[in-house]
Amino acid sequence: MREQKALGLFAKWPIPGRVKTRLAPSNAAWGARAAQAFLLDALQRFAAVEAQRVLVFAPAEHEADFAALVADRFLLTPQGDGDLGQRLAAFFAQQFDIGARAVVVIGTDSPTLPVEYVEHAFAELANTDVVLGPATDGGYYLIGCKPDHPPLFDNIAWSSGRVLADTIAALAESRWRLALLPPWYDVDTPEDWELLRGHMAALRRAGIDPAAPQTEALLRETI
């Protein structure tokens, strides 16, 4: 049932100098434009997921701005304080407390991530405890679990290439069942941007709509 599944989309308001600083280290305004494009495309793309959709936003003072973007497609909840692990843990706990039986979290850094991967994650949680979508940078682009799960967000070297390995270490006990999605990529660096450009072009050449119009338009500006 839809109300028993919750999809959390973690997002930051695109403030120049506070988003995509590795992608555009010398052009904060352009980095913010990229972050905005990713956010708008993610809201459009994942509004199709049959679940209780929640935009988990930061900073809190931009709630009205986020509300203007989401309309009725997502509920809104602030990320709160602490490092990424603490914020993730708080969101999962909140959703389980109000009745969710399966919770999946994604971010806005993967503009071409197929909706089908998110739907598959929910399907996997019918028979497993934790589902992960490994990212090519050593982290993960998706994490999901059920109410009974190990401490997935403790002792993780956030913003490093060890995030996935540290998370797997938290699943050392054999009783925890893990499902994996195919690897995918985040867009955080200039090299990632070029990968995105090539992937978008390949999708178009193959007759596949990337379903990321804001990002695609920005790519056309930066040939």
User: What CATH number has the domain bearing residue 34?
Assistant: 3.90.550.10
Cβ-proximal residues to 96 (8 Å cutoff; 6+ apart), any chain = 103, 147
Provide the number of structural domains found in the chain.
1
Between the CA of residue 200 and those of 22, 72, 98, 106, 114, what are the distances in Å?
Answer: 21, 29, 39, 20, 13
Query: Exposed e or buried b for every residue in 160-195, given b needs 16+ CB within 10 A?
Result: eeebbebbeebbeeeebeebebeebbbbbeeebbee
Evaluated on CA atoms 126, 43, 83, 34, the torsion sign reads: positive
Residue 36 CA to residue 13 CA, distance in Å, equals 8
- pLDDT score at 222: 72
- pLDDT score at 173: 86
- pLDDT score at 103: 98
**Angle in degrees, CA 70, 71, 75, rounded to 5:** 65
Neighbour tally for 217: CB within 10 Å: 11
Query: Token pair for residue 223?
Result: 């040939």
The length of the chain is 223
The model's pLDDT over 77-96, given as tens digits with 9 standing for 90+, comes to: 999 899 999 999 999 999 99
> Is the peptide bond prior to 182 cis by the omega test (within 30 degrees of 0)?
no
Residue 220 CA to residue 118 CA, distance in Å, equals 28
Residue type present at position 128:
T
**DSSP 8-state symbol, 22:** T
Residue 181 exposure: Cα atoms within 13 Å on the Cβ side: 31
Residue type present at position 73:
R
Residue 30 CA to residue 27 CA, distance in Å, equals 5
Domain coverage including residue 145: 2-221
pLDDT-flagged residues of the chain (< 70): 1-3, 223
- pLDDT score at 174: 86
Residue 86 CA to residue 107 CA, distance in Å, equals 16
